[in-house]
C-alpha cells in the first residue's frame, strides 16, 4: 500500500492547515506566493540558497511538519529545468567576464539535484536520494521511484517533490516555442507557472493520511487514454462513476482536446482542472496530486470543477505533453 501522509506546497496557491485556500486568478504567468524562508532556515545557511533551492527545501520541511515527522526515509525530486537562476547567473558571468571571476556558489547550486541534496543535508537524511529531469514526467518519474521504494523495502516517509521555477529570461523563450501564450486570445500555448510541492509517501497509514496512491502509468506513445483509465480503475477495483477526473486543461487548444475527450469518455464522472490555479509547468502534476489528495480528505473544492459529479471515492489525474501521457490514480484511504 502507498499512502500520502503529508503535503508541503509553495506556489501561487496557499496551502495551510492541510488544505488549499484556492484563489483562482488569470495572470499572464503564475508566480509563487512569497514565503518568509527565515522562519524555516537559519539565515546564515539560507544565504547560499538560490530561490528554487529555498522553495524546494522549505516545501519539503513543510511536508515533514505536516506529516508529523522530522527526518525523511528517502528524498526523490523531479525538476525539468532545474536551477535556472543560478544557471543563467553563471552563463552571464562566463560571457561578461571572459571566463574569469566566476562565483563558485553559482555552479555548485546549479545542478538539478541541488534541491534534493540540500534537503538531505538539512535533515541529516542519509537514505536514498535521487533526482529526475524528464520534462513533463519529471515528477511522475520521481513518484514511480518512490512507489518502487515502498514495494521493495516497505520504506516510510519518502519525500517526493516536483519543483520548477520561472526566471524573467524564460518567458520570451517559452513564447517563441509556443508554450506560453503570446496573446491572451491565442489558442496556442498556456500561462506558465512555478511551484515546489512535496508529498510524504509511506507504506503505513496514520492520522496524517490524506489518501492512498492506487496507480501510476506513464505512456510514451500514441495511446487510448480512456482504455488506460479503465484498466487502472479495474486493477484497483474502483468504479468509474465514483471517480473525479482532474485533467491538465491549460487553454492550449491541442492539449485541451485530449483532456476534454477523456472527460467525454467518462460522462458519469466529475471533471476538474488545476492549471488555472498553479499555471502550466513541467512538474505541475505535483500540485495536482497535492490538490487531489487534499480534496479527497477534505471535500471537493468548487474552484477546480469544470463539470460536477457524484462525491468521488477516487481521483484520476491526467496530463499529456507532446503525446507523452501520465495517469496518477488516488483513492480514499482504506
Partner 1 sequence: MELIEKLKTEIISALNLEDIKPEDIDPAAPLFGSGLNLDSVDALELIVILEKNYGIKLVNAEEGKQIFYSLNSMAEYIKKHSSHA
Partner 2 sequence: MPDIVITGVGIISAAGTDPEQNIRTFRGNKSPMSRLSGFTSALAEEIPVCEIKMHNNDIAQICGLKKKQNYSRTALLGLYAGREALKQAELSSKTLENTVLISATTVGGMRRTEEYCRDQYQKKQSRLRDINRHDPGDSALVMADLLGTGNIATTINTACSSSLNSIILGARMIRQGLCEAALAGGTDCLCLFTLNGFNSLMILDKNGCRPFDSTRQGLTLGEGAGFVVLESEDHAAKRRKIPLCRLSGWGNTCDAHHMTASSPEGDGAVASMNEALAMSSLKPEQIDYINAHGTGTPNNDLSEGRALEKVFTKVPPVSSTKAVTGHTLGASGGIETVLCILSILHGHIYPNLRYTSPMAELSFKPALSMLSGQKIHHVLTNSFGFGGSNSTLVLSAI
Which residues would be at the binding site for partner 1 (CB under 8 A)?
43-44, 47-48, 100-105, 108
CA dihedral sign of residues 62, 66, 72, 78: negative
User: How far apart are the C-alpha atoms of 225 and 43, rounded to whole Å?
Assistant: 47
Select 102 or 148, whichever has its Cβ closest to partner 1: 102
Q: How far is the CB of 325 from partner 1 (least distance, A)?
A: 42
Select 132 or 210, whichever has its Cβ closest to partner 2: 132
- Residue 133 binds which of partner 1, partner 2, none (CB < 5-8 A, kind-dependent): partner 2
Inter-residue contact 189 to 281 (CB < 8 Å): no
Select 17 or 47, whichever has its Cβ closest to partner 2: 47
User: How far apart are the C-alpha atoms of 59 and 275, rounded to whole Å?
Assistant: 19
Instruction: Give the bridge partners for 217, in sequence order.
Output: 327
Q: How far is the CB of 95 from partner 2 (least distance, A)?
A: 4
Q: How far is the CB of 27 from partner 2 (least distance, A)?
A: 24
Residue linked to cell 538531505: 120
Query: CB neighbours (10 Å) of residue 177?
Result: 9
- Residue 1 binds which of partner 2, partner 1, none (CB < 5-8 A, kind-dependent): none
Select 131 or 304, whichever has its Cβ closest to partner 2: 131
Binding residues for partner 2 (CB under 8 A): 75, 80-82, 87, 90-92, 94-96, 98-100, 102-104, 107-114, 116-118, 120-121, 123-135, 137-138, 141, 144-145, 148, 151-152, 173, 176-177, 218, 220-221
- Residue 134 binds which of partner 2, partner 1, none (CB < 5-8 A, kind-dependent): partner 2
Q: How far is the CB of 163 from partner 2 (least distance, A)?
A: 13
Inter-residue contact 209 to 66 (CB < 8 Å): no
Select 80 or 316, whichever has its Cβ closest to partner 2: 80
User: How far apart are the C-alpha atoms of 57 and 130, rounded to whole Å?
Assistant: 15
For residue 68, CA distances in Å to 5, 11, 62, 147, 208 come to: 9, 22, 10, 21, 8
Q: How far is the CB of 109 from partner 2 (least distance, A)?
A: 7
Radius of gyration (C-alpha) of the chain in whole angstroms: 19
User: How far apart are the C-alpha atoms of 247 and 319, rounded to whole Å?
Assistant: 6
Select 103 or 241, whichever has its Cβ closest to partner 1: 103
Amino acid at each position: 500500500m502507498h499512502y500520502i501522509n503529508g503535503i508541503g506546497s509553495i506556489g501561487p496557491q496557499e496551502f495551510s492547515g492541510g488544505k488549499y485556500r484556492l484563489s483562482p486568478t488569470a495572470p499572464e504567468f503564475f508566480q509563487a506566493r512569497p514565503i518568509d524562508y527565515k522562519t524555516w532556515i537559519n539565515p546564515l545557511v539560507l544565504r547560499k540558497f538560490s530561490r528554487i533551492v529555498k522553495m524546494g527545501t522549505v516545501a519539503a520541511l513543510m511536508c515533514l511538519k505536516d506529516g508529523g515527522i522530522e527526518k525523511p526515509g528517502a528524498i526523490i525530486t523531479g525538476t525539468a529545468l532545474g536551477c535556472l537562476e543560478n544557471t543563467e547567473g553563471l552563463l552571464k558571468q562566463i560571457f561578461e567576464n571572459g571566463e574569469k571571476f566566476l562565483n563558485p556558489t553559482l555552479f555548485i547550486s546549479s545542478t538539478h539535484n541541488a534541491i534534493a541534496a540540500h534537503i538531505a543535508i538539512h535533515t541529516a537524511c542519509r537514505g536514498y536520494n535521487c533526482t529526475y529531469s524528464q520534462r513533463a514526467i519529471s515528477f511522475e518519474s520521481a513518484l514511480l521511484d518512490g512507489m518502487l521504494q515502498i514495494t521493495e523495502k516497505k520504506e516510510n516517509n519518502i519525500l517526493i517533490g516536483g519543483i520548477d521555477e520561472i526566471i524573467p529570461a524564460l518567458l520570451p523563450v517559452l513564447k517563441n516555442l509556443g508554450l506560453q501564450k503570446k496573446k491572451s486570445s491565442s489558442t496556442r500555448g498556456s500561462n506558465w507557472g512555478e511551484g515546489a510541492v512535496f508529498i510524504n509517501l509511506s507504506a503505513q497509514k496514520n492520522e496524517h493520511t490524506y489518501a492512498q496512491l492506487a496507480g501510476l502509468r506513464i505512456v510514451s506513445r500514441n495511446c487510448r487514454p480512456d482504455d488506460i483509465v479503465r484498466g487502472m480503475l479495474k486493477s484497483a477495483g474502483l468504479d468509474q462513476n465514483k471517480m473525479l477526473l482532474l485533467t491538465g486543461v491549460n487553454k492550449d487548444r491541442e492539449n485541451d482536446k485530449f483532456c476534454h475527450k477523456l472527460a467525454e469518455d467518462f460522462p458519469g464522472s466529475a471533471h476538474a482542472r488545476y492549471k488555472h490555479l498553479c499555471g502550466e509547468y513541467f512538474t505541475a502534476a505535483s500540485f495536482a496530486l497535492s490538490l487531489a489528495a487534499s480534496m479527497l480528505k477534505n471535500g471537493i473544492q468548487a474552484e477546480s470543477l469544470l463539470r460536477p459529479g457524484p462525491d468521488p471515492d477516487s481521483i484520476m489525474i491526467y496530463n499529456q505533453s507532446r503525446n507523452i501521457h501520465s495517469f496518477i490514480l488516488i483513492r480514499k484511504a482504506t
